[in-house]
Structure 1
């Protein structure tokens, strides 16, 4: 008997048995890539290696059962791991050390708070917040994270001590410490990078990361790599993760990690929503971002309750799942099972894995985050936004990931405000080759003798209201013929705030004092309700409100024997 529909996960409704074989193969392939990848992310989050495995155990299970996306893969992620480490390091908690039980507990607390924020966002239907990071800003942010992540792996690849301080100090530390270079360590790190790139180039369907990890682990075990100075990850705690609230947490710790949790929240929303939408569109599905937020919230709550760090929707792992033709979250459930088997039975085999191998895996991930092609596309199509992307990337690298996410949000919002502030103002005007079309509103442009059809391509609000007023006055005062009708095409105006309402009242008075009729064309019902509340409709004749621009223009009295222009289709 099939389960009731309400009990079937959203992402697996309508599942076909014929998909099972492909999902099983996709899940095993994804596990082979995801397991070394998330183990490598622990070097960014500065947590024990086993916590990486925990990020794809219960969190991935929670999202598979509660999320909407059929393909989105949730787990440890380089961007959120970098935000987490930077946030905790700057939280000012006395005596806090990376890798320590207190550090791991605070990572879990941050994941719990991130999960709660995501849940609140779902209740308030705030999925749209993911749209407040523009594509160019996100490219710049992830490029900066990629530079930070890749450069952060160089000391482990070279076998030299890591530096402290800002990014420049850390780079200078390994450059000046190159004299301590461990050639065997470099061989493992460089070998990992070479194997991954060779497989990408020659055998792209085979995951080079797992080939590198398994092959070099075998070499390290057979040759006892640690005996000739190669740092290995050592014993990994096997078995199930610890279940429960993070230990030793105080109320003061909650306040200390909230800013980091909010930064993680915005990246989780933006990155997961973008990934989910892009793959849904690719397969003709509909992305339910608000439902995915439920799954992401549950995933982070599961992470916090199972001793690991913040999880996120991963574009790279989702691309892998799609590339091997995974159809549903059943593939992710296979990853969960494989990870569980590793935790229960295989952690002992990983003891001799060189840290340089994991560093090489993460180095490649960081390099792939540096989106040179994306920056080039932005440069060609929107050069102005390239500057924003580069500033965001440099801020992430030089100042830190936390500052980068704040700047990314601020720049995205400023970009929106500037576009509204500098909205286009147009006038329906005759073309040189005949006919009419909208042209830039400039002094001396009119639609016909006595008529101006004016369009403003933005909602009116306090910042652009004075610009709207100035443009109206400019085209009216400089019109070649005395204006009798001023038709406001309301296509681009759906709302008017209180400040703009005052400005619109002033424009109305200005027009009426010059004997000009203000006519509204194509206003939405909500806009008319707003204008009534501002008592503006008392100043406009009901006969001068048209639901169609053609009707509005046709109602203008003929002047000097000329017919009014026909609006463009």
Structure 2
């Protein structure tokens, strides 16, 4: 796309999201994830930079907006609930690593246009002989100034001051003559409002491109908004955010821009600058309006390494080492999940990394339900009922086994439930007369698990063992009635409290 199209994405799209979006911090504008999808797809359909290419990009944004509206109608915002805090920490860390590596090329003066962190690092290594000493020196000075300014004057607009100063110095001393790359000429004026429609066959070819952008937008925008909202304990309405993203993409399509997305780096940049509401994005759009009318000419002198240094410092600030360290101490399993997410996002890509992380989170949850905490409850005079590990030979009292199962009873863990009970019964030092199942964690039971429980009851009845359920919730009671377990138990065998169940057997 023409360079000025990047400014067009920051003109109407932020306003569209600010109107209805619930996130107070999310910045919706151009983003590398969706831009990479467009570049990889549209370049096979039209000449990059041409009017035809621009019309295809605008139509992709419009199709993406339609898909987001459909997602809002079906209320798909609930998908964001599958993004745990663990995934979000890993996501932002991965994005920080990915973006920091992507900025190294401009900071070293080496061309690194590959897609993905590994490809870019390889290009940097191979191109180290073409490094620009002037660019590297300027980049180091700028990074030190940005990091030092953040520490010494966190509320001062250090980055803005450096942008103005380096653009002015570049104009005065012709940085380009020393090998420091600059942005180059940027067209001015407002965008051409309207939409040039491609033919029907091209629209059909754009559908999978828009679908890919849609997936990235849903995953990345939700992850970014969730991460920043968690930091400020703010409530999000994800369906409102989806509608805001739809309006933003529709506005981008009609204003000569391309697909827009919730940007992690721009959101982090706005937050660091003090943004606490969407009013900041309205001001952002206003500034872009002024730049388009009056200030595009001075932009041509701005060194590319200046912009890269700003984004680099933002990116490394997204790597939350403190939370990762705390996570490693408290929950090693979740720490591994966060690191896996970070590596996947940095190496594979944002959308694949987020989807992989969600899948791993769900598998981890299923694994916990498949192998829940179980215990044999034993009475101690000084402590009352205490939980002890389920070990063959354990019993709660002579002739009594008081067993607790710590998860919903469903098809995957029902056999474990039955096997542990039979193991306890068959290895008990005294003949078991009573089995009490504490079911406070069993909120419901599915059809397959109910069949396993009925078979277990038959076996225990053959051994003349009385079976009781304690701490049964109304929802579980209804499931037991529906599946015939209540009838198989016999009258008066299900109780709402532990005390009632024990009283029924005289304990």
Taking structure 2 as the reference length, what is the TM-score of the superposition? 0.87
Q: What corresponds to 2:424 in structure 1?
A: 475
Instruction: Name whichever of 224-233 and 297-306 sits farther off.
Output: 297-306
**8 Å CA contact 1:150, 1:362 repeated in 2:** yes
Deviation at residue 435 of structure 1 after TM alignment: 1.9
Partners of 2:425 and 2:42 lie apart in 1 by 60
Correspondent of 1:378 among 327, 338, 344: 327
Q: Which of 58, 78, 92 lines up with 2:12 in the alignment?
A: 58
The CA deviation at 1:334 is 2.9
2:303 alignment counterpart:
354
Q: Is the counterpart of residue 271 in structure 1 residue 224 in structure 2? A: yes
How far has the Cα of 1:216 moved from its partner?
0.9
Give CA deviations for 1:130-178 in whole Å, capped at 9, x if unaligned.
Answer: 2323333333333232222111111211212225476444323223322
Distance 2:196 2:439 in 1: 56
Q: How many residues align?
A: 503
Q: Quote the Cα distance in structure 1 between the aligned partners of 2:49 and 2:103.
A: 17
Write the distance in 1 (CA, Å) between the matches of 2:163 and 2:146: 10
Is the 1:162–1:173 contact (alpha carbons within 8 Å) kept by the matching residues of 2? yes
Change (3 A) 1:267 1:165: closer
Q: Tell me the distance in 2 between the aligned counterparts of 1:98 and 1:142.
A: 31
**Inter-partner Cα distance in structure 1 for 2:409 and 2:170:** 67
Distance in 2 between residues matched to 1:109 and 1:507, nearest whole Å: 61
CA distance in 2, matches of 1:533, 1:234: 73
1:485 aligns with 2:448: no
* Structure 1 unaligned spans of 5+: 1-46, 558-563, 565-569
> Match of 1:218?
168
Cα shift readout 1:438-470 (whole Å, capped 9, x = no counterpart): 233332333333333322222122222222222
Give secondary structure in 2 for the equivalent of 1:455: strand
In the other structure, the counterpart of 1:522 is 471
C-alpha contact 1:87 1:402 (8 A) present in aligned 2 = no
The aligned residue for residue 539 of structure 1 is 488
**CA distance in 1: counterparts of 2:207 and 2:171, whole angstroms:** 43
Of 88-97 and 391-400, deviating more is 88-97
Change in 2 beyond 3 A, CA 1:303/1:459? farther
The residue matched to 1:404 in structure 2 has which SS?
A: helix
Partner of 1:294: 243
Task: Give the deviation of 1:197 after TM superposition.
Answer: 0.6
What secondary structure, in the 3-state scheme, does the structure 1 residue paired with 2:492 have? helix
3-state secondary structure, aligned to 2:440: helix
In 1, the alpha carbon distance for the partners of 2:350 and 2:51 equals: 24
Q: 2:339 aligns with which of 376, 390, 403?
A: 390
Matched, 1:406 2:386: no
Q: Deviations over 1:179-215 (max 9, x none)?
A: 3222332343333212211111211111322122121
Q: State the distance in 1 between where 2:113 and 2:74 align.
A: 43
Report the TM-score when normalising by structure 1: 0.79
User: Hey, what does 1:124 align to over in structure 2?
Assistant: 74
Q: Which residue of 2 aligns with 1:208?
A: 158
Deviations along 1:216-238, whole A, 9 cap, x unmatched? 11111222323443222122233
- Distance in 2 (alpha carbons) for counterparts of 1:183 and 1:118: 46
Q: Is the 8 A contact 2:90 2:340 kept in 1?
A: yes
| Aligned-pair CA distance for 1:82 | 3.8
Residue segments in structure 2 that go unaligned for 5+ positions in a row: none
Matched, 1:420 2:369: yes
RMSD between aligned residues: 3.1
Q: Name 1:72's counterpart in structure 2.
A: 25
Shift of residue 95, structure 1, vs aligned partner: 5.7
Structure-2 separation of matches of 1:192 and 1:324: 21
Alpha-carbon distance, 1:524 to partner:
2.9
Give yes or no for the alignment of 1:182 onto 2:132: yes
2-structure distance, mates of 1:462, 1:97: 55
Which residue of structure 1 lines up, in the alignment, with residue 449 of structure 2? 500
